[in-house]
Copies of this chain bind each other. A is one copy, B any other.
Amino acid sequence: MRALERAEILSIGSELTVGETRDTNAGDLARELTAHGVEVVRLAALPDDLPAVRDAFDAALERADLAVSTGGLGPTPDDLTRESIAALVGETPAVDPGLDAWLTDLFERRGLPFPDANRKQAWLIPSATAIPNDGGTAPGWWVDRADGKVIVALPGPPREMRPMWHDWVLPRLEARGLGRPTAVANLRTSGLGESLIAEKLGSLLDRDANPTVATYARTDAVDVRISAVDAGGRPAA
């Protein structure tokens, strides 16, 4: 199986593209993936629009080996992540009996009627495995594409997304094989502008070097980020 070396992160929901909600999931996942040796090539936020989401997954898996999405797994008609992934891989969702029993039981234990709209949260497609959600009614999907690429779809609420990521997704990604571990150090400088610091760093800023060194102008200082990829044989610096 191919290692998952490059990833793209999709955040799905019109509340993001109208600027009403600020996304924290993409940044959290970007940091996680980077630390585990996966190069994150893009983060994107998309509206609740099936063709837009399907096309974004499609383009993401052109550029990367792994697409991780958050959001769009709710029960309402504008939650379209499952439909978008099914359209992309050309499969038809169907109610999974195991998920359906779990969901029915969940509503029963909460003493609530089971709304018909929620039944789509029990959907699976043949190439998807359900990712258990202990904190809500939206299981995630792990989808193995025929070409060896992977889609991971997680719900948007961070208190549901985070444990699903840590406890279920990450161990499976690691078992599957990721890129090379990366060690990162940030140095805060003072007294010089970014261009003078860059002048002093000279060829260290060469983008193909390992470790790579980059400068970032902050409001009050310039940060120098040193990122070393484990080249094998020796531990990363």
Contact = CB atoms under 8 A, between A and B. Distances in A.
A104 interface: no
B17 A214 contact: no
A112 interface: yes
Given A19-B34, A214-B14, A205 B77 contact: yes
Nearest to A21: B216
A74 B222 CA distance: 12
A100 B216 CA distance: 23
Interface stretch (A46-54, A125-133, A168-176): A46-54
Nearest to A216: B15
Contacts of A180: none
Interface stretch (A36-44, A87-95, A141-149, A229-237): A36-44
Contacts of A156: 217
A203 to B, nearest CB: 10
Contact of A195 (B45, B76, B207): B76
- Chain B CB count within 10 A is highest, among A27, A32, A48, for A27
Contacts of A117: 195, 198-199
Interface in A160-183: none
Give the number of times this chain occurs in the complex, counting copies. 2
A44 B42 contact: yes
A113 to B, nearest CB: 8
Contacts of A47: 40-42
A218 B76 CA distance: 14
A145 B189 CA distance: 39
Given A75-B198, A113-B196, A115-B195, 13 more contacts: A13-B216, A17-B40, A17-B42, A19-B28, A19-B31, A19-B32, A19-B33, A42-B46, A43-B45, A59-B59, A75-B193, A117-B195, A118-B193
